[in-house]
Chains A and B, each alone.
Chain A
Amino acid sequence: MDYFLAMESQIVNPVKRANRRYFIEFGVAMVAYVVVIFASRWLLRGPMEHAAGGWQIAIAVLPVIPVVLVFAAVVRLLRATDELSRQICVDSLAIAGGVTALLAVTYGLIEGGRLPHLSAWWTYVTFMATWGVASLFVQRRYR
């Protein structure tokens, strides 16, 4: 970590510094997510298997904490990056939100009887995938 922080201090361009900080924060949050999700599963299948319901729910949602860290990293990046990068990111997020909502409503209308009921996880997966694809298309507008 000291190595990365030392490298960060040598970069003058605030956008480069913000990007490097984001990748470090994102990487740390992702490692934390993997560790916490394995720890959470292990606790629920082992020592905490017969714990009270409240405790089990608390342990099950522990992996949300690193996800909050990812969210905080994205917000920090948005605040520190330059105006065009921010516009591209916000436009992509808006498109991803709109497309995800449209797909969720469409599937919600036809599921049950006609199509299988899907887990709420798919909303998150769809949003993240759409955000990635939308970013590519929005970036192309400015080349």
Chain B
Amino acid sequence: MKNRLKVLRAERDWTQADLADRAGVARQTIVALENGKYSPSLVLAYRFSRIFGRPVEEIFDPQDEDGEANE
């Protein structure tokens, strides 16, 4: 699943470790999310929504490059 975590994190000048601490996850989870290797649960997606003050659909895009729903 594509997402804007890296951009939103960079806008705030946060490191991956900073975001991991705020989200209460391991840094490897942030790495996996930013690289599109892992799709978060709804609970975690809403946590990022609260952290960045943006709706979930503005952060995560369930459409892959072919326009099909991913997972």
Contact = CB atoms under 8 A, between A and B. Distances in A.
A142 B25 contact: no
B37 A15 contact: no
B1 interface: no
Nearest to A19: B26
Given A83-B44, A84-B32, A143 B26 contact: no
A15 B38 contact: no
Contact of A84 (B21, B24, B26, B43): B26
Instruction: Pick from B26, B28, B35, B37 the residue with the most CB of A within 10 Å.
Output: B26
B49 interface: no
Interface residues of B, number: 16
A15 B24 contact: yes
A141 B31 CA distance: 12
Contacts of A16: 21, 26
A14 B20 CA distance: 10
B37 A81 contact: no
B26 A82 contact: yes
A38 to B, nearest CB: 36
B26 A15 contact: yes
CB-CB nearest 10 A-B residue pairs: A142-B32, A82-B25, A84-B29, A13-B21, A142-B37, A15-B26, A14-B24, A85-B26, A82-B29, A142-B38
Interface of B: 20-21, 24-26, 28-29, 31-32, 35, 37-38, 40-41, 43-44
Interface of A: 12-16, 19, 81-85, 139, 141-143
30 contacts: A12-B21, A13-B24, A16-B21, A16-B26, A19-B26, A81-B26, A82-B25, A82-B26, A82-B29, A82-B44, A83-B25, A83-B40, A83-B41, A83-B44, A84-B25, A84-B28, A84-B29, A84-B32, A84-B38, A85-B28, A85-B29, A139-B28, A141-B37, A142-B32, A142-B35, A142-B37, A143-B31, A143-B32, A143-B35, A143-B37
